[in-house]
Structure 1
Amino acid sequence: MQEDFLHYIWEHKKFQINNLNTTNNETISISHVGQHNLNSGPDFFNAQLKISEQLWAGNVEIHVKSSDWFLHNHEQDKAYDNVILHVVWEHDTEVFTKNNTPIPTLQIKDFTDVSILNNYERLFSKQNKWINCENDFAMVDEFLLNNWLERLYFERLEQKFQLIETLLKESKNDWEAVLFKMLAKNFGLKVNGESFFSLARSIDFSIIRKTQSNQQTLEALLFGQSGLLEQDIEEAYYLSLVKDYQFLKQKFKLENNQVLPLQFFRLRPPNFPTIRISQLASLYNQHQNLFSKIIESNSLDDFYELFRVSTSNFWKTHYTFQKESKASVKSLTKPFVELLLINTILPIKFCYSKQKGEDIDDLIIKMGTGIHSEKNSIITAFNNLKKVSNSALDSQALIQLKTEYCNKNKCLKCAIGNAFLNK
């Protein structure tokens, strides 16, 4: 038995609320269970109860066993002086106030429906399951599931808002600078995301503004800061970049000792950091006010057009500085643009509108459902239980579900877990 489950039973009145009595056979009538306290102190504040004929207003403390009161040293804590009811699963000892008066105790297992207890034990049984409810997930109600996924999607956007807020403070509320850092991080994908992020944070965005009108200058800045111009290579384009970067480094007093090394190992050539850096430079070379254009764009087609960029000419015949390859136009693919939309553009639009006090939830939902579902191990596993991920909104919500609820055993906070408990 877990204390969280007892909190759930009490908060949602999942017990026989009529004919309640204390362990001393005093009748209990509940007007209000109180406000759940997630911080230190009693578990529920401001409950309203009637015990025998006496009305009480105060706090409720919940434990698996009565003796846990002493195990947690509550008898020494003034925060527990106003506890009016001690709710326990098993009553094994009396608990007293400081003036030696017994605190009324409710042994809640005597009034809990056996079906919810059985469902709880089944849900949390240890059977090497991927998620606790995997045996029942296929039977979840469609309406409930869709509403819960939509809520989880916005929960994930809210979570990303924390990083964006930090970046806004760093950049003195410059949204263009925040966008650049977020885009750079996602241009690096999973393998080089943190390296690209550190690269973007090593350059004040004012320098990007001053160099973006010339693509080679901007490439020299990004390649130089990334540490890719420190080799002994006799190639005209490479030597030109080195020369440009040395000038920029001196002019803007640049340092790159905090930039994380870039990785090429186990990457497909189109995802080499050299290619992604050139594409990022092309994007900023073509769009001088990218953030404004993103805020003004309200359809997926607008974004596909906005991100229709490729590398500079040198990279049409190269993946690295040293080795020439078969000529090809290395444009941003639609799946890659959709990853940018999922991880950067939609969170940015959502957070900007929230800061402005505007509601664009319907637009965010429309765009999220219009983008293809991501493909990864989490989505595959959920789809094996029940075909559920049909869009980016679904896949982002399922990632949130797995990482923030399933992995942390927060079934009691999950709409799906609640549905199974109350079957």
Structure 2
Amino acid sequence: MNFPEDFLHYVWQFRSFDNNDLTTADGENLKILHQGFLNKNAGPDFNNAKVQLGETVWAGNIEIHIKSSDWLKHNHQSNASYENVILHVVYENDVEIKRIDGSVLPVLELKNRIADALIEKYENLFLTLTDFPCIAQIRHVDKLIVDSFLSRTLVERFEQKTQAVMETLNELNGNWDETFYRFIARNFGFKVNALPFELFAKALPQQIYSKHKNNQLQIEALVFGSAGFLNNKFDGEYPIKLQQEFRFLQKKYNIKPIEVSIWKFMRMRPQNFPTLRLAQFAALIVKSNHLFSKVMEVREVAGLRRLFDDLPVNDYWKTHYHFKSEAVSVSTQIGKTSVDNILLNTVALFLFAYGKHTGTQFYISRAIKLLESLPAEENAIIERFDSANVKIDNAFASQGILQLKKQYCDQKKCLSCGIGIKILKQA
């Protein structure tokens, strides 16, 4: 026997044991009328169960242990919360347990009632050293079951991400526009420069742009100056103009630029340099200030994509990746993969979060539809599941996979996973 108490929770919840001629340890006939509901909070393991002992029907709670003596180890004998336990379910009954009032607690021993094949399958699944326990079995699970659980994990993932949105929203006194601005700025940094972009957005509130929406040079000066890139001496006409504009705007709005040294350039492709991303971000502000309102209005995916197309990036960046030297030819527009990343990680998230916050299913449905229209991410995790014959058609599925891997596979929570449960039921 090599399994934790959680395995017995599974066995009891799904009645995956020999239910014939059940008796308690003292020989009293036992019928399970309802096994109760798994309790994930403090107290007995299952609530609102119903069993028949002899001729009497009892309603109450079920407590489960590997050994009956665990009741004493856990100090349940002195905890009034366990007085309403009507049945003690254990793998091995090694000691008689009494309630606080002195009455003997009925116990069901499962030691000889769980199939060896089920225990072996669980041990093979749970005790494997891999971080993908069911890599060999998942291909045999019905696609409907896999897809159903991925739908659940996708929602879990977005609900968790929504918490971060709500924290920032509260910090900004319910300002959705400013909250969205901070998140999309962070997204523009992608993984490497996400933090610098976030700090930059905090240093330069979105409301300042609106006062200069008809002056592209001033918008660009605000962006590059707040990001810390205008403190050097320049030779070129364009960066000198930016510097002059920012000196005035900095004093006017009391802007404190972030430290330029936190931006990362090393081991990056030039088209991903933060200077070019900042130029694109400034162009997005010029094209669509208060972008959150536009995102909420545009219903079609193609329309959302157009918000990021044909950005009016300054011509200077057609021949520069940064302010230091010229380049032969530079593509100044955001690539399709990057736009997909923004639609997935910011736009879909905010549609979902806004729908949750306001109780409006319409926006949640739009978020789901957007995810279904976006291609699946490409990374090592997705490749492993794909090699195990898990069909991953779109970002909806790939986001569900990432949550499944992080919250279930990595933590060996096979007994809480709909896929893992199905594999065990096939024993």
Give the TM-score normalised by structure 2: 0.92
The worse-fitting range, judged by mean Cα deviation, of 129-138 and 230-239 is 230-239
Taking the aligned partners of 2:16 and 2:257, their CA distance within structure 1 comes to 59
Alignment of 1:14-413 (within 5 A): 14-126=16-128, 128-256=129-257, 261-308=262-309, 309=311, 311-360=313-362, 361-386=364-389, 388-413=391-416
Distance 1:238 1:61, change over 3 A: same
Q: Output the amino acid matched with 2:333.
A: S
Distance 1:47 1:181, change over 3 A: same
Say whether the 8 Å CA contact 2:228–2:258 is kept in structure 1.
Answer: no
Say whether the 8 Å CA contact 1:198–1:260 is kept in structure 2.
Answer: no
Q: Report deviation, 1:32.
A: 2.4
Say whether the 8 Å CA contact 1:185–1:197 is kept in structure 2.
Answer: yes
Distance 1:65 1:294, change over 3 A: same
Taking the aligned partners of 2:259 and 2:271, their CA distance within structure 1 comes to 26
Q: Point out 4+ residue stretches in structure 1 off by more than 6 angstroms.
A: none
Say whether the 8 Å CA contact 1:212–1:281 is kept in structure 2.
Answer: no
> Per the alignment, in what secondary structure is the counterpart of residue 147 of structure 2?
helix
Q: Report deviation, 1:387.
A: 5.1
Identity of matched residues, % = 36
Distance 1:312 1:112, change over 3 A: same
Q: Report deviation, 1:257.
A: 5.8
Q: Report deviation, 1:171.
A: 1.8
How many residue pairs get matched? 422
Q: Deviations over 1:281-337 (max 9, x none)?
A: 111111133222211222221122111125322211111111111133410111111
Q: Output the amino acid matched with 1:182.
A: F
Taking the aligned partners of 1:245 and 1:81, their CA distance within structure 2 comes to 71
> Per the alignment, in what secondary structure is the counterpart of residue 110 of structure 1?
coil
> Per the alignment, in what secondary structure is the counterpart of residue 422 of structure 2?
helix
Distance 1:205 1:170, change over 3 A: farther
Distance 1:32 1:201, change over 3 A: farther
Q: Report deviation, 1:259.
A: 9.2
Taking the aligned partners of 2:344 and 2:265, their CA distance within structure 1 comes to 24
Distance 1:294 1:113, change over 3 A: same
Distance 1:260 1:64, change over 3 A: farther
Q: Output the amino acid matched with 2:153.
A: L
Q: Deviations over 1:153-192 (max 9, x none)?
A: 2222222211111121122222211211111111101111
Give the TM-score normalised by structure 1: 0.93
Taking the aligned partners of 2:384 and 2:273, their CA distance within structure 1 comes to 29
